[in-house]
Amino acid sequence: MRTFDFDLFVIGGGSGGVRAARMAAQRGARVALAECAELGGTCVNVGCIPKKLYSYAAGYAEAFEEAAGFGWDLGEARFDWSRLKTNRAREIRRLNEVYRSLLEGAGATLVQGWAQLADAHTVQVGERRFTAQHVLLATGGMPFVPDLPGREHVVVSDAMFDLDPFPKRLLVVGGGYIACEFASIFNGLGAQVTLLLRRAHILSDFDEDVRHFLAKEMGKAGIDIKLNVSIETLSRTRGGLRATLSRGQQLEADTVLYAIGRVPLTACLGLEAAGVKVDGQGAIVVDAHYRSSQPSVFAVGDVSTRKQLTPVALAEAMVVVDHLFGKGRRRLAYEYIPTAVFTHPNVGTCGYTEAEARAKFGADRITVFCTEFKPLRHTLSGRSERTFMKLVVEKGSDRVVGLHMVGAEAGEIVQGFAVAMNAGATKAQFDATIGIHPTAAEEFVTMREPAPG
């Protein structure tokens, strides 16, 4: 019987990789993890965590404006971009060390450097070679930038947290959640923001009512959204950057952010040498147990072919560990996974969009409930921001199969309702639940009249 250096070798120290390595080591497996950058991956270093911190920072500008309506007289506010960057960097370093401590405390071996597969059971890191009975690929993804004239002047989302100087004019290309979040953040921090996208609407994977409502609210906040247009060329001028658009129009900006999507980080991993297949987008093809075409190699998170969310990577990692070193009973259901977009206002969603529900269950088997209102906070704040909520119900079972919100703290609110939806909650059960008054969340249990049409 062949002897291996490790029972599990993890390539990638992001959320999924660290979770798998730590939990496998705690179960007694001999585990190594290779990472060439800081631990924590995209989420901790250049994604979810710093983005949410900057979203909080942007929210203070709104709060200062609202305070007068509640009796507060404030002096002139001044934003210090350098201080925010310094404080954020300190917190990220702390989290990097937390991840390191968790791994070392569990008994996992950390290997610094770029790792790639030499064969189905061998990992090469620089000049060193390690053998493992199982290999887990958790290298995540990276921003995609098309090949266009002036591409060298573009920045991607990874670079947005340390821009120097702060961009007074920001052009964001893309309409997905990353583009919309950065547009909202920098608009709140004081930049003049233009959001430019090729499509006819933002957030194409979200419910139609949600994306239209959010676009209207972002526009009211001062973001200039330009639809059905793209950049043909980008050039540097004495005053900054000049983007020439497909309609011939020109826009001036200090920074141009491309946030049109992310691609799996599978290049230079030695996948071909190990017999690991990828799909047309370069994502590793896996089965229900996250096993690739090579039986000894697994993949989780953004590098594979499933849903690209940090909590999903964590859950997938736990399924792999249970399959390899546990009882193999753990499964992950993708149907009712909640998610949030930290725009201003936030978006929270769980389950099917109205269009998806009609396609899956039948157009005549769906009932929709909607409400739109001014939150109590803004009756005194002076702001015109509104909140939108929507329920999608399957008539036969009365089950709530879609829940969507645009408004303050939407992510916090939807998280709780996601538990109910995963438990199979019906509209009748929503109706029988007493709301907490006065809150925005109570609207989800007080909607009685179906939307027309």
Give the residue numbers marked as catalytic. Answer: 437
Strand pairing report for 339-341 and 347-351: antiparallel
Rounded (5°) CA angle 172-177-179: 10
Q: HSE on the CB side for 254, CA within 13 Å?
A: 13
Q: Going by C-beta distance under 8 Å and a sequence separation of 6 or more, which residues neighbour residue 452?
A: none
Contact assessment for residue 150 and residue 235, using Cβ atoms and an 8 Å cutoff: yes
Q: Going by C-beta distance under 8 Å and a sequence separation of 6 or more, which residues neighbour residue 423?
A: none
What is the residue whose two structure tokens read 């949410």?
52
What is the Cα–Cα distance from 340 to 409, expressed in whole angstroms?
9
Q: HSE on the CB side for 70, CA within 13 Å?
A: 12
Nearest Cα neighbor of 64 from 53, 50, 74, 54 is 74
Structure tokens at 134: 């199982």
Contact assessment for residue 449 and residue 369, using Cβ atoms and an 8 Å cutoff: yes
Buried b or exposed e, range 185-212, using 16+ CB within 10 angstroms:
bbbbbebbbbbbbeeebbbeebbebbbb
3-state secondary structure 39-86: CCHHHHHHCHHHHHHHHHHHHHHHHHHHHHHHCCCCCCCCCCHHHHHH
Phi, psi of 346 (to 5 degrees): -70, 160
What is the Cα–Cα distance from 76 to 21, expressed in whole angstroms?
49
Contact assessment for residue 140 and residue 41, using Cβ atoms and an 8 Å cutoff: yes
